[in-house]
Structures are given as C-alpha cells and as structure tokens.
Amino acid sequence: MHSPATSASSAAHPLPSYLNPHELGPWGQYLQQVDRVTPYLGSLARWVETLKRPKRILVVDVPIEMDDGRIAHFEGYRVQHNLSRGPGKGGVRFHQDVTLSEVMALSAWMSVKNAAVNVPYGGAKGGIRVDPKKLSRGELERLTRRYTSEIGLLIGPSKDIPAPDVNTNGQVMAWMMDTYSMNTGATATGVVTGKPVDLGGSLGRVEATGRGVFTVGMEAAKLTGLAVQGARVAVQGFGNVGGTAGKLFADAGAKIVAVQDHTGSIHNAAGLDVAALLDHVGNTGGVGGFAGATAMDNGDFWGVDCDILIPAALEGQITKDNAGKIKAKMVIEGANGPTTPEADDILNDKGVLVLPDVIANAGGVTVSYFEWVQDFSSFFWTEDEINARLVRIMQEAFAGVWQVAQENKVSLRTATFIVACKRILHAREMRGLYP
C-alpha cells in the first residue's frame, strides 16, 4: 500500500536517477528555478514535466592519438533539452570540470534564453571533459574532429547548431564545420555559428554577448534611475564577455574598479585603464600582474565597493557564502548560472537587482541566429546592421520581462522564466504529442 505522503505527481512521473532534483549540481539549480515559475504558468503547467526532462542526452567516448603515440580517451556530451520551438542551439565547452549535470543545465538555460529573446531555437549544449591548455594544437584539432564525428548523428543546420563556449573559439568551430561537411559530402557553413568571418561567420559575433550585457544593463539603469556616468563596476572574467562589457561601460563613463579571473583579482578605486588591461590580458592570458592596479584577495573581490557587478566567468560563483558581502546595486549575469538559488534570495532580500543570465547574456545567441540566417541566404550584413538589430531585440526582450516582473511582483529571473517557459510550453501544446 502506498504511503499517503507519496506525491501523486512523483509516483506518476518517476524521474531517472540522473535527473534527481536533490542533486546539488547545476541541473538541480535549474530544477529549482522551474519549480519557482510553475505557479505562474496557468493551464500550461500540465506540460511542465517537459522542462524537467531533456529530449536527448548523448554521451560519447572521444579517443585520439596524442603526439607521443599514446591513445587517450575523453568523455564528451551533447544534450538537446527541448526542440519544440526549433533546432537545438547552444555552445560546446572544453573544460576539465565538465559534467553531465552541467551540460544538461546549460542546455536547459539555452531553451529558456532562446525563448526569452524569441529566436526560433530550442536549447542544446555540448562539452568535453578536458583541459585544452594541456593539448598541442594538433591534439586539440584531432579531439575536436573526433568529437564532431561522434555527435554527428545529432547536429546539422536544421537539427542542432553548436557554437563557441568556454575554451572554444572560431578555430574550433571551423574544424567542427569542416568535419561535418566532409562527413556529409557538402560544405555546410550553417552547422555551427561563431565561425571565422571568412568561413561564413558574422561580423559582431565575438563582442555580441558582452554588448548584450551592456545593453540590458543600460536599460535597467534607466528604469531604476542608476546613473551609469561615474558608476563603479566590478567584473569577474575579462574575456570576450566581461572584457567587452567592461569596455562598453567604461566608454559610457563608468569606472571599472575591480576585475577577477583565473589569474587573480585586481583593484583600483580610481578606475582601471580598460584599454591597457585588455592589452595586458591579450599578452599574458589574464589580469594578474597588471601594473595599473593593486592585487587583492580573491575572496575580498565580492565585497568591493561598486554599483554594478558583472559575473562573466563560470556558473556557481555567487553563493550563500559570499552573496551577503556584495555591495552592488545591480548584478548583471554575463556567465551562465553564476548565482545559486540561495544566493538569489539573499540578494533579493538586500534589494540588489539581478539581471539574470537567461536575458542578460542572450546577445551571443542572438547574433548566432543572425549568422545562421546569413549562412542560409548567403547574404551578409554590415556590423552596424548587426549591432543595431541586436540592441533592438535585447531592448524589446528586456522591456517585456520587466513588465511581467512588475505585474507579478517577482524577480527578473522568475519573470524571464515565465515569458520563456510559456513560449516553450505553448509550442509543445500546439504541436501535440506524436504519434
């Protein structure tokens, strides 16, 4: 006899072990976010289990021959979370800490992100558990090509379109595009985005995520009365996203007072020379040792005096242990999943406005969409056209999220999930179940 305490829902929909909501990794974090939005979904809530189960999970062995003749094996992933609104879309990361939980969560956040800005994609993500810094260029190319061949049954210009993410770039995308093209017998530029411009890439793609972070930040500043001129900004991660956002905020009159990355944390209350810092990062690989600043303890970075904080590194950086130290009025999430649900609640109680990743860093996938469209038509736009279209889409998407947040008296994260999840589940409902 069943215990009365057993949930009818859980009894009717037992989750596979790897989808366990009590798993404390990124997937568990995502499931908590879905639970928070469910009460706002109305009649679409009957489909909510769709959001809690990835459509496809592919785990692959990636064997390659190393330069010294050894055969090494790496574990790779490609997860398609939801394809109701279009082909899968999401990056591929090469990192030694990649896990299935992480890739599943990232694919789900891509579903939400794509729906939030209303581009016609579902969510997907990929990764290989590897430290690419330990590989030669030849080994990296062989790893990329073998991985692409292994996931080839899932990807394609109208099925699932990978893109750069952590430790991957235009060169990696070029290898992926070439491998897929060789395997299918025809050049398929649209199978990946974030490619070099000479191979069908889009102008403005490298800076797109950072430009989106800046655009959403400026819109929020207007709505809240925060003066950007003279505002103090702290940035975690100073690559394509954090570096671009930092430069744009500095150009708008803000002062970048602190930056942290894998090489350390630096501080200058008078404001860092962003152009010089970007040159330093380009030459040395990180912000550590920059002459125009003083080094600070990594833990102290979170308590620095600032008005705007931009976490633009990896997920899980703002936790219940450091959220209480944050003095910023606004947090703009350039990274995916940088704030845990517990930290979200702490920041909300402190009155800190959090601009969530699923809207704030959607500039990258928006310009990836532009690239994909340009590849299909073989007609390419100017960088000014791309930037103007990007800014318009980001502004309109943020305005819609802001309105939902005000109407429902919820955080911007929950509001973004309301907008996105309703779009995803409405598409699911309209398409119905086959067969």
Provide the β-strand partners of residue 73: 63
Spatial distance between the Cα atoms of 209 and 124, rounded to a whole number of angstroms: 17
Q: How many CB atoms lie under 10 A from the CB of residue 334?
A: 32
Active site residue 125: yes
Give burial (CB, 10 Å; 0-12/13-18/19+) of 229: exposed
User: Can you spell out the DSSP letters for 122-183?
Assistant: EEEEEEEE--GGGS-HHHHHHHHHHHHHHTTTT-BTTTEEEEE-TT--HHHHHHHHHHHHHH
DSSP-based three-state secondary structure for 210: helix
Burial 98-116 (b: 16+ CB within 10 A, else e): bbbbbbbbbbbbbbbbbbb
Burial 230-258 (b: 16+ CB within 10 A, else e): ebbbbbbbbbbbbbbbbbbbbeeebbbbb
Active-site annotation holder among 125, 195, 247, 255:
125
Spatial distance between the Cα atoms of 8 and 146, rounded to a whole number of angstroms: 44
Nearest CA to 330 out of 219, 423, 242, 410 is that of: 219
What ranges in 13-136 are assigned the alpha helix state H?
26-37, 100-116
Q: Please identify which residue in the block is written with the tokens 């005096």.
A: 305
For residue 328, the 8-state DSSP code is -
Cis ω for the linkage preceding 435 (within 30 of 0): yes
Q: Please identify which residue in the block is written with the tokens 């459509």.
A: 55
Spatial distance between the Cα atoms of 9 and 15, rounded to a whole number of angstroms: 10
Spatial distance between the Cα atoms of 374 and 205, rounded to a whole number of angstroms: 12
Tokens of 11: 């009894």
Spatial distance between the Cα atoms of 91 and 83, rounded to a whole number of angstroms: 15
| Single-letter code of the amino acid located at 397 | A
| Catalytic residue positions, numbered | 125
